[in-house]
Each structure stands twice: as C-alpha cells, then as structure tokens.
Amino acid sequence: MKKLFGLVVVLFLLAGFSTGCYYDNEETLYPSGVCDTVDVRYSNQVNYIISNKCYDCHSNATAPLSGSDVSFEGYANISGYLSAGSGDVNFTHSIDHSVGYTPMPKDQPKLSSCEIGTLIKWVNNGYPDN
C-alpha cells in the first residue's frame, strides 16, 4: 500500500513537471498570478507577448498596412528596431504610456503590468536572443 502511494505521488510530480514546461496561454505562462520578471527570455515570454499583442499591426504582413512599416516579427526585426537610434526608448515608453510617446498597443487596452515589466526587463537586459 505504501508503495502504491509512492507511485501515485511520483506520477503526480511527473505530470506537474511535464505540463509546467508547456506554455500556451497567459494562465500557464503566469500561474496563479505570479509574474516572473527574473528569468525573462525572448523565446519564452517576450516573443509570446509581442506576437499576441503587437502582430495585429507589427508583423511582416501587417506592418506596411497598419504598423507604420515597423515589424517586430522575429528576433532580427525587433532587435534591429531596438538598437537603431532611440528605438529602445521609444519602445519601452510607448508600452508604459509615458507622456510624449505614442501609446501602444494603439487604440487597444494597455498591456498588463506584468507584460510591461517583462518587456522592459528584457530590453534593459540588452534584449538578448535567449
């Protein structure tokens, strides 16, 4: 009986770990409202936020039509934008709605404070391709 109990515990742990690595929505990305701005990665949170909240106007396909020809699709485009001129400052100030900058996402609700914190942290880290 003890052995069976142990097996059940192990199975639960395995199930927890395997689903813990699969991010497909905001709830699994930030379980129970915990916002991880420590381990910020392009391949994880950043690309997820940008593609969900910015591609409507800033993907390769939509940028010429509705994003002022600015595409953030893929690492090369977004890092190219951030490193040119004051791109990084424009970017962080537009998403936190600083006075004097065009608020983004345009005509849509402001990003959550977790999303803003995550993106700003990544930019301040030097926007690594991680």
Q: Write the CB contacts of 117 (distance below 8 Å, at least 6 apart in sequence).
A: 35, 37
Q: In angstroms, what is the C-alpha Rg of the chain?
A: 18
Which listed residue (19, 28, 102, 113) binds ligand HEC by CB under 6 A?
102
Please, what is the minimum distance in Å from the beta carbon of residue 81 to ligand HEC? 7
Binders of ligand HEC among 79-98, rule CB under 6 A?
A: 90-91, 94-95
Q: d(Cα 102, Cα 1) in Å, to the nearest integer?
A: 64
SS3 12: helix
Residue 66 near ligand HEC by CB under 6 A: yes
Which listed residue (40, 46, 48, 57) binds ligand HEC by CB under 6 A?
57
Which listed residue (40, 42, 58, 114) binds ligand HEC by CB under 6 A?
58
Q: What's the CA dihedral at 106, 109, 93, 76 to 10 degrees? A: -60
Site for ligand HEC, rule CB under 6 A? 53-54, 56-58, 66-68, 70, 90-91, 94-95, 102, 104-108, 111
